[in-house]
Amino acid sequence: MNELTEKSTDEGERALLLATLQTIEEQDHRLTLAAGELDGRAWGGKRSN
């Protein structure tokens, strides 16, 4: 669990922080996928790792 949520004593605040963290993680995942797709397009889909 995140340090901010561990220090929070207010349940509403804790729920908001957790929802915010979840949203950030989801957006990070989407951006990572989009970056990978763009990288693949830049290499013409022929890049080997």
Integer Cα distance of 2 and 4 in angstroms:
5
Q: Identify the pLDDT of residue 4.
A: 63
Domain locations in the chain? 3-43
- List the structure tokens of 19: 């929802």
Which residues, 6 or more positions from 17, have their beta carbon under 8 angstroms from its beta carbon?
2, 4, 5, 8
Convert the pLDDT of each residue in 1-49 to its tens digit: 567 656 667 888 888 999 999 999 999 999 999 999 988 888 886 655 5
Q: Identify the pLDDT of residue 14.
A: 86
